[in-house]
């Protein structure tokens, strides 16, 4: 099966392109991505501005659009938002519109500004609003053709007006631009189709709702700013359809608005009956949306607490898996000995004692027992401040109310089991080996990037499975042990160093590889740490023989695997050639300012589309040229055109390895490549070889970074499709089957080292 990979570009490259576009605007400079707040900051006209590139990236990834055109449109929106602000209500009046938002949206913007204020001059906004029901509120927006900016309290004060006066103007503007009516898509179910970014705001127009033929009073959902859904309160089939449609949109929308369902009656808006708002599919969508917001809030609170020197623990909002037709169990936890904790509001509250006793208690029951120790904070999504741990009497009462009471599982057993479950699930889905080594880490890293780019939510079960596998790789490669520290699973490497694998996975899922936290980057850091261990320090990794140990001993024969390539003897000449190539290209890199690397950048063939996984090779050329590591590779097969003079750049298949063993043994790689090609048009019985035979026979696979099966080699050898750019090879045509390539840990794409960097031989 073809390996999944981004069919456009990754988040990091998107941010870099966005930065270039912003700095290319007149008067714009100093574009910097802040991974902590996931914002892109820049300066214009002596002022600091910020934008959330993740929202733009999700919009870009959702459609098949040209990157340059997309970013030009984004920058046009930024320019409109930077236009001089109105100085009076009279100036603002034509652009004022009411904006329906979730209260969490406003509080998150304020929290993000507080975090940014610790690093740059940023004003803390105050957004006036009118509450509707649930978490939905109405704010005031200044509308432009490409964006909407929310009006602040300071602006209203400078205009000498009140929120209500400005709201009256805004509502009149919305009413004036609302032509036509809503569309009935099934009996009793109506949807909006204005598509101007203010569909949700039209729930504020009673006359619009009165035009609809409803059984009962209006019940509305606003899953997106571009969708208003209405049904009658006495129409169960239409209400069920409303809930299903809202849940579907929430799962697909890159910028969901709210999972709340409101009921309009004589006294105004109120939350809809539980029979509608608590329908399983809609409730699941609400829980996933809430988890996303709690995760972002926790990350920002941790940054703010660190900047302010506060010792607070921000607890997680955890979702336990359930069947597709049932809501998730949502849980948070109080741990004895942790101290002051900020808890999210969940259905169930877990208590973990020092003796590892575990109690799971319904929130309402726990709240009654804890009393004043649980204090609600004025932030959204809602959190509670909890200090200490229940005393003996309270703990006994909690035991009587617990739905689950048990000793917590040993972290070592739990993580090992979770890792193996994840490994099996991965191999079953992708039909690809996932091993507990550096190769497995590369696959994890790419999986996270793929899933987040597709908008797949980071459920706790998913994060725990990937994190457990990540931790098990660290243990098996470098030694250590699993422990639990402040509710978090930690791999304790030694008495001074530890890694929180699940946290790393969650952060990469939230921020992307470019955010600074990634499983691959962490693995490389631990590897460097272990390499720097002083002599005499023994770890699980140093106790194992290295790739170079035993080279003077007789070479073993691969008797257990008839197809396995026997180990080759070291060739010092080939190793020296690789060293020369690395030295030569390092010197060329120092000349990058003169355009050396830019001149090596090859244009993509016209036939190569953004949907072709090979586009990753083109997109990562700059990274590989600038930072790539040089290793040996061997050709498996290539388009016949490449062996003749011509202009066409074509794909080919190669094998390579990061193992130092092969630095002096490219012939062994060549033998492996030849054996793979010999599988063409055969049907081996061994599953790994059968997959390889299919790959070289059908010649349609675009996979990168796949591992050569153990049946051929017991070392970590990888295979990849790649692009042969003729300008990178001597005389513009293939003339050898062993050559140096560039690789980088942040991508599975590889490229031939441009021949300017090849050794003289």
What does the pLDDT read at residue 64?
Answer: 67
Cβ atoms of 639 and 652 within 8 Å: the answer is yes
Helix (H, G, I), strand (E, B) or coil at 365: helix
What does the pLDDT read at residue 554?
Answer: 32
Q: Which two tokens stand for residue 29?
A: 């400079």
- State how beta strands 341-344 and 313-314 pair: parallel
- State how beta strands 39-44 and 28-34 pair: antiparallel
Phi-psi region of 535 (alpha: psi -120 to 50; beta: other; left: phi over 0): beta
Whole-Å CA distances, 611 to 65, 638, 702: 11, 21, 11
What does the pLDDT read at residue 99?
Answer: 97
CA distance 442 to 251: 28
Q: What are phi and psi of 98, to 5 degrees?
A: -75, 140
What does the pLDDT read at residue 225?
Answer: 94
Whole-Å CA distances, 215 to 188, 205, 222, 236: 7, 19, 20, 9
Q: What are phi and psi of 405, to 5 degrees?
A: -140, 115
| Residue pLDDT, tens place only, 664-695 | 899 999 999 988 988 888 888 777 788 888 88
CA distance 261 to 263: 7
For the chain, the distance separating the N- and C-terminal CA atoms, rounded to the nearest angstrom, is 39
What does the pLDDT read at residue 758?
Answer: 85
* Residue numbers in the chain where pLDDT is lower than 50: 1-7, 534-561, 592-594
Cα angle: 755, vertex 757, 761; to 5 degrees: 75
**666-678 and 687-698 are packed helices; what angle lies between their axes, rounded to 10 degrees?**
80
The residues near 458 (Cβ < 8 Å, ≥ 6 apart) are: 291, 295, 451, 452, 505, 506, 509, 510
What does the pLDDT read at residue 550?
Answer: 29
CA distance 162 to 89: 10
Give the residue from 358, 623, 267, 317 showing the smallest Cα distance to 459. Answer: 317
Q: What are phi and psi of 414, to 5 degrees?
A: -65, -45
Is the preceding peptide bond at 79 cis, omega within 30 degrees of 0? no
What does the pLDDT read at residue 457?
Answer: 77
Phi-psi region of 269 (alpha: psi -120 to 50; beta: other; left: phi over 0): beta
pTM exceeds 0.75 for this model: no
Q: Which two tokens stand for residue 474?
A: 């660290």
Domains and CATH numbers, the chain: 1-83 (no CATH), 178-278 (no CATH), 287-407 (no CATH), 411-531 (1.20.120.1090), 572-757 (no CATH)
């Amino acid at each position: 099966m073809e390996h999944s990979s981004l069919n456009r570009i990754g988040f990091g490259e998107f941010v870099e392109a966005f930065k270039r576009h912003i700095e290319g605007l007149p008067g714009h400079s100093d574009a910097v991505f802040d991974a902590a707040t996931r914002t892109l900051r820049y300066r214009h006209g002596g002022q600091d501005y910020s934008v959330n590139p993740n929202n733009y990236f999700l919009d870009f990834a959702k459609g098949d659009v040209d990157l340059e055109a997309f970013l030009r449109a984004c920058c046009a929106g930024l320019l409109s938002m930077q236009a001089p602000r109105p100085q009076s209500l009279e100036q603002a009046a034509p652009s004022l519109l009411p904006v329906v938002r979730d209260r969490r949206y406003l509080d998150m913007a304020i929290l993000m500004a507080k975090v940014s204020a610790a690093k740059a001059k940023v004003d803390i906004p105050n957004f006036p609003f009118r509450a509707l029901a649930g978490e939905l509120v109405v704010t005031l927006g200044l509308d432009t053709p490409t964006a909407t900016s929310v009006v602040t309290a300071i602006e209203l004060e400078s205009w000498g007006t009140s929120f209500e006066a400005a709201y009256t103007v805004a509502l009149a503007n919305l009413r004036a631009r609302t032509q036509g009516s809503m569309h009935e898509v099934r009996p009793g179910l109506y949807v909006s189709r204005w598509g101007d970014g203010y569909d949700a705001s039209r729930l504020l127009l009673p006359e619009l709702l009165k035009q609809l033929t409803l059984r009962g009073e209006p019940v509305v959902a606003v899953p997106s700013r571009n969708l208003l859904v209405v049904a009658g309160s006495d129409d169960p089939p239409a209400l069920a359809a409303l809930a299903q449609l809202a849940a579907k949109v929430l799962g697909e929308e890159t910028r969901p608005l709210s999972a709340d369902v409101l009921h309009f009656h004589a006294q105004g808006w109120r939350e809809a009956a539980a029979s509608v708002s608590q329908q399983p599919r809609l409730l699941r969508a609400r829980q996933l949306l809430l988890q996303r917001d709690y995760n972002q809030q926790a990350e920002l609170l941790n940054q703010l607490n660190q900047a302010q020197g506060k010792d607070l623990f921000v607890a997680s909002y955890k979702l336990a898996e359930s069947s597709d037709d049932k809501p998730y169990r949502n849980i948070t936890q109080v741990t004895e000995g942790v101290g002051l904790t900020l808890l999210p509001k969940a259905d169930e509250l877990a208590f973990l004692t020092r003796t590892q006793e575990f109690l799971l208690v319904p929130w309402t029951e726990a709240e009654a027992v804890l009393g004043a120790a649980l204090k609600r904070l004025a932030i959204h999504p809602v959190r509670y401040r909890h200090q200490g741990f229940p005393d003996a009497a309270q703990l006994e009462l909690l035991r009587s109310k617990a739905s689950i009471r048990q000793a917590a599982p040993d972290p070592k057993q739990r993580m090992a089991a979770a890792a193996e479950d994840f490994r099996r699930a991965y191999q079953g889905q992708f039909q690809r080996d996932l091993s507990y080594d550096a190769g497995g880490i590369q696959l994890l890293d790419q999986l996270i990037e793929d899933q987040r780019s597709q908008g797949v939510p980071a459920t706790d079960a998913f994060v725990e499975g990937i994190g457990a596998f990540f931790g098990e790789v660290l243990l098996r490669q470098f030694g250590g042990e699993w422990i639990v520290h402040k509710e978090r699973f930690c791999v304790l490497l030694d008495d001074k160093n530890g890694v929180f694998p699940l946290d790393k996975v969650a952060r990469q899922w939230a921020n992307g590889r470019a955010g600074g936290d990634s499983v691959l980057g962490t693995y490389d850091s631990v590897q460097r740490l272990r390499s720097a261990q002083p002599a005499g320090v023994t770890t699980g990794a140093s106790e194992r023989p290295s790739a170079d140990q035993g080279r003077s001993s007789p070479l073993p024969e691969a008797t257990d695997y008839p197809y396995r390539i026997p180990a080759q003897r070291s060739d010092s000449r080939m190793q020296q050639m690789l060293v020369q190539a690395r030295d030569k290209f390092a010197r060329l890199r120092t000349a990058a300012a003169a355009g050396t690397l830019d001149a090596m950048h090859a244009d993509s063939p016209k036939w190569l589309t953004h949907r072709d996984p090979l586009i990753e090779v083109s997109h990562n050329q700059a990274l590989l040229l600038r930072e790539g590591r040089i290793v040996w590779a061997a050709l498996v097969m290539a388009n016949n055109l490449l062996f003749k003079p011509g202009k066409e750049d074509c794909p080919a298949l190669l094998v390579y390895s990061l193992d130092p063993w092969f630095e002096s043994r490219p012939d062994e790689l060549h033998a492996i490549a030849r054996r793979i090609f010999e599988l063409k048009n055969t049907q081996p019985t061994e599953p790994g070889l059968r997959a390889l035979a299919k790959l070289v026979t059908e010649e349609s696979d675009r996979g990168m970074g796949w591992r050569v099966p153990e049946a051929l080699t017991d070392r970590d050898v990888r295979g990849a499709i790649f692009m042969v750019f003729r300008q990178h090879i001597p005389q513009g045509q293939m003339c050898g089957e062993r050559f140096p390539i560039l690789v980088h840990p942040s991508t599975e794409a590889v490229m031939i080292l441009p021949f300017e960097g090849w050794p003289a031989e």
